[in-house]
Structure 1
Amino acid sequence: MDSSSYKIYHVHGYDSRQYLEDYFSGKPEMVFAEDTLIFPIENLTKTFKEGHINGDVLIDLSNGSLVHHLYAACEFFQHIIVLKVSDGCIMEMKRWLDSRTGAFDWGHVTKLHEEIEENGDQLHGKEEKVRSTIPHVVKCNLEKENMTDPIDLPPADCIISAWLLEVICKDQDDYRRYLRKFSELLKPGGHLILLGGLDATYITVGKDKIRVLKYNEDFARKALVGEGFVIENCVFKKRTVLSDLIDYSAVMFIVAHKEK
């Protein structure tokens, strides 16, 4: 398929349930578990257990209708405000939040947390804890100066953005621009946690191929520093999975804070 025919995530949308099934489910044929489930859960759990990232408000700005990256965070923030660019993602997220019939099953993530944290007794009711910490799923327009207009968000102590920047940015200037917008949502000293894929050019969801911005570790680091962030931790894991659904070379986990 010619790259000019690739769809654009926040313009054309895609099947949010198919995205979860292909890249984040607990099915045996879901080959990306090491990169999309275990890698972020391990690093997020370790990061939050260190104890210096916490507060009143965490804003989640992530691809699709992801939930698993919020399990580790829910114990450290009073409120998690989830921002989504499409109605489909909002509907999928709310189906899970309201425990409706047909909601995506994240039970495999609870089991992963039990294994990683080795405290299964304390994780009883973890899904309900995540649900209770999310008061709002808000639709946002990424191009507006206030992306949640007419709602004004409170300044955040932390933002998590998982696999989003690469699918909304058309070029490297866009990437920097969105980092700037994220920074504006943070309190001075607030933290930004980024999860992403390096060197990707597309991601397949069902019959659709979605355009992805190709970037590397060096660019991600320089972009963060250039927009006033201080990097605290970077972890990169090389891809070991063979699949033509997506062409990334590695996954990244970066923690940075906004300079005061």
Structure 2
Amino acid sequence: MDSKNSKIYHECGFDTRQHLEQYVSDRPDMAFEEDFLKFPIENLRTTFAEGHIKGDVLIDLSIGSVVHQLFAACDFFKHIIILKVRDRCIMEVKRWVNSRTGAFSWDHATKLYGDIEGESNKLQEKEEKMRIAIQHVMKCDIKKKSMMDPIALPPADCIISAWLLDVISKDQDDYIRHLRKFSELLKPGGHIILIGDLDGTYFTVGKDKLHLLNYDEDFARKALAEEGFVIDRCEVMKRTSVSDLLDHKANIFIVAHKEK
């Protein structure tokens, strides 16, 4: 599939439930368990278990309505604030947070955490703990100089951004500009965790083809360094999935802290 004429995520959006079903569900035909479930879950579990990243406030800026990247964090932060660029994503997340009928089930992701932690008997407790920790699901405007203007958020001890920079950035300069805006929400000395796709140009949701920024590990490292971050950890895994839904070559997980 040619990447030309791909839609831009925050300008056109997509069917958020379809996105969840295609990329992070437990459907038998879901091809991305290793890439988009196990890879981030295992790396986040290891990162937070080290005990260096913790605090009062964590801000999440991630694609669509995914929340599985937060299960490991809820043990280390009192308050989680989720920011979304589209109303439909906010509605989908709130449906799960409020345990409403028809909410997307994250039982399979919770089970992965439970299997890693050896606490498979505490899956319901894990979900409830995260629901309590998620205190706000709010809309942000990435086109503004300050994404939350006129709202002032408390500075974050940590930011997690899963796949969002990849889809809102039209080019590498755009990526750096968005990264800078994310950084402004972070305390000096705070941490940022980026999860993304490398060497890709498109992904699809249903019949919609959407833009995916083409970049490599060296660019991601350089972008963080130029914005005043020191990289603490970087993991890259070659793509394991067989699917023409997207054309990335590898997955990247980066942890960095903001110099004081």
Common fold: TM-score over 0.5: yes
Matches within 5 A, 1:172-211: 172-211=172-211
Cα shift readout 1:74-93 (whole Å, capped 9, x = no counterpart): 01001000000001101111
The alignment yields a C-alpha RMSD, in angstroms, of 1.1
TM-score where L is the length of structure 1:
0.98
Cα shift readout 1:11-34 (whole Å, capped 9, x = no counterpart): 011000000000000111111000
Q: Percent identity?
A: 67
Whole-Å Cα distance in 1 between the matches of residues 113 and 28 of structure 2? 18
TM-score where L is the length of structure 2:
0.98
In the alignment of these two chains, the number of paired residues is: 260
Cα shift readout 1:181-207 (whole Å, capped 9, x = no counterpart): 111111000000000000010010011
Structure 2 counterpart of 1:145: 145
Using the TM superposition, give the Cα deviation of residue 102 of structure 1 relative to its aligned residue in structure 2, in angstroms. Answer: 0.6
3-state SS of paired residue (1:112): helix
3-state SS of paired residue (1:92): helix
Check whether the contact 1:201–1:247 (CA below 8 A) recurs between aligned residues: yes
4+ aligned runs moved over 6 Å, structure 1: none
Structure 1 counterpart of 2:232: 232
Cα shift readout 1:78-132 (whole Å, capped 9, x = no counterpart): 1000000001101111111111111001000111111111122444411111110
Structure 1 segments unaligned to the other structure (5+ residues): none
Whole-Å Cα distance in 2 between the matches of residues 101 and 144 of structure 1? 35
Whole-Å Cα distance in 1 between the matches of residues 45 and 3 of structure 2? 37
Whole-Å Cα distance in 2 between the matches of residues 4 and 240 of structure 1? 25
Structure 2 segments unaligned to the other structure (5+ residues): none
Check whether the contact 1:146–1:152 (CA below 8 A) recurs between aligned residues: no
Cα shift readout 1:58-88 (whole Å, capped 9, x = no counterpart): 0000000011110000010010000000011
Matches within 5 A, 1:82-231: 82-231=82-231
Whole-Å Cα distance in 1 between the matches of residues 13 and 231 of structure 2? 32
